[in-house]
Amino acid sequence: MNCFSSEFEFQSALIRRLKAMGMYCRNIPDIGNTKKPFDLSVNYKGKGWALELKIIKTQREPTPENVYKKLYPHQVANLLDFQSWKSQWVSRVIAYHGYTNSVWIYTIRKDWDQVRLKESAHYDRFDKNLEEHFDLIF
């Protein structure tokens, strides 16, 4: 089974897949000590997406709680800011689990004082429904 060993490999494959769907994708590169807001900026059908990607290398499947712990505070703030109710844009955290070669998609939510991730989808990496999931959101 061909698994990704790094976030860079996963990001490159995801960009190719999203571009094949007709999305405009732009990775936000690391520049020195600058803290980038999230990994990918995507535009599809006039809506903007902010995607933060994480790799889970443990045997245990990812949970919203342990994926959330991998986010830096500035990433959480930027993802929440990007999807403010005024913009109606979309922020997602996507976790790749190398042990099962699966993808988890999470929404980020702020309820009162608590910020959390909520699982919105779980797919095998090669599943065609992954494209449908992105398409349904628009």
pLDDT digits (tens, 9 = 90+) for 39-88: 999 998 788 889 999 999 889 999 999 999 999 999 999 899 888 766 77
Q: Does residue 2 belong to any structural domain of this protein?
A: no
> Which residues, 6 or more positions from 119, have their beta carbon under 8 angstroms from its beta carbon?
64, 104, 105, 106
In a domain, 111, yes or no: yes
The pLDDT of residue 3 is: 80
**Average pLDDT rounded to a whole number, residues 90-114:** 90
Q: Which residues pair with 119 in a beta bridge?
A: 106
If DSSP codes are grouped into helix, strand and coil, which group holds residue 21? coil
- CA atoms of 87 and 73, how far apart (whole Å): 21
Query: Does a structural domain hold residue 116?
Result: yes
Range of the domain at 109: 7-137
Residue 84 in any domain: the answer is: yes
Q: d(Cα 106, Cα 93) in Å, to the nearest integer? A: 5
Asked if the structure places residue 55 within a domain, the reply is: yes
**Local structure of residue 62 (DSSP, 8 states):** P
Highest mean pLDDT among 15-19, 34-38, 65-69: 65-69
Domain count, the chain: 1
Identity of residue 69: K
CATH number at residue 56: 3.40.1350.10
Q: How far apart are CA 19 and CA 101, in angstroms?
A: 21
Q: What is the mean pLDDT of the chain?
A: 85
Please give the model's pTM, rounded to 2 decimal places: 0.88
Asked if residue 91 is part of any domain, the answer here is yes
Quick one: pLDDT at residue 76?
A: 93
